[in-house]
Amino acid sequence: MKPNRPNALGRSLVRFFHEYLPTLRGMSEHTIHGYRDAIVLFLRYLSEDTGHPVDRLDLSNINAEVVSQFLSYVEEKRGNSINTRNARLAAIHTFSRFLATDHPEQMIEWQRILALPFKRGARQAPIEYLEADEVKAVLDRIDRSTEAGRRDYALFAVLFNTGARVQEILDLRPCDIRTQSPYQVRLTGKGGKVRFCPIWAQTARLLRELPQFSSDIEDRESILFRNSHGGKLTRFGVRYLLHKYVVAAAKDVETLRTKRIHPHSLRHGTAVALLKAGVDFATISQWLGHSNLNTTMIYARADMDIKRQALAQVFPEVLATPPGSQRALTEFNLIHWLRKL
């Protein structure tokens, strides 16, 4: 039996991931991986839908109807959110735009796919984050007598400290860390943007004590956080570790039993803590590496203590009338109060 030769779909996928996304679009490795995961999921769905192995699929199997069915599958069968559904569609849209230039003879079909709309109505779910006592409970559950435990403790300490994205921390090298005052880490975020984030002296010490931290110039370019096999620790590995420690800590802290904590929850916790401390939104935005200040504003709606503080600042004057007084607010007083809101 002759081996399958690369067909039009196979050749297009190679050019899409090796040329179009990294070179022409200049997308980051993290974004490309996200697109890859979306396309892989779509190809697997397409394989089941057509009954053909993935390696025998071709461009003729891709059309607007099957993409629409795939999006329904993502929501209804996989139970993904509307945001995830839209992220999958964004990847397929980008691939369709590429195909429009790579295979213009099928332009009508690519245009039909591009006409598929993003789904509206995605509601912002309440942000789940860790309070100070919950952070302590999670860290206390890590066994620091083992090398793996010391790695995990340092990993979650720097995540709590910086509020960085998990991938930003997993990409850290010893040369990115300043372990002398002023203590700081250099983070590479989305789009390759570099920013510096201060860390506590205790965090710097934890990182310096890791086996991978070395004064050797060559070693200082290597990855800091590694798995048990010596390879780079992954986001899925971090999710697994966090879940393990949260489940253990929930035995002591009741509030952890009802929260759905994931690695990004650590980032949310840092943002809310900064907001509670009175740090302004612009500084928090720079701290977290947000490209848009509106992204940072979601934390103003997240914390109940902040809402209580706002309530205390607004309403006491209005409710200050002594008991038994029947004096109503005049039009002037009402307008004055509204202007103060």
List active site positions: 165, 190, 264, 267, 290, 299
Token reading at 157: 């300490």
CA-CA distance, 179 to 298, in Å (whole number)? 33
β-pair partners for 185: 177, 197
Question: What is the distance between the alpha carbons of residues 62 and 58, in angstroms, rounded to a whole number?
Answer: 8
Q: Are 199 and 183 in contact (CB under 8 A)?
A: yes
Q: Could you tell me which residues are beta bridge partners of residue 254?
A: none
Whether 168 and 187 have beta carbons less than 8 Å apart is answered as: yes
For residue 50, the tally of other CB atoms under 10 A from its CB is 15
Between CA 84 and CA 41 the distance in angstroms is 12
3-class secondary structure, 195: strand
Query: What is the phi/psi pair of residue 61, to 5°?
Result: -85, -10
79: helix, coil or strand?
Answer: coil
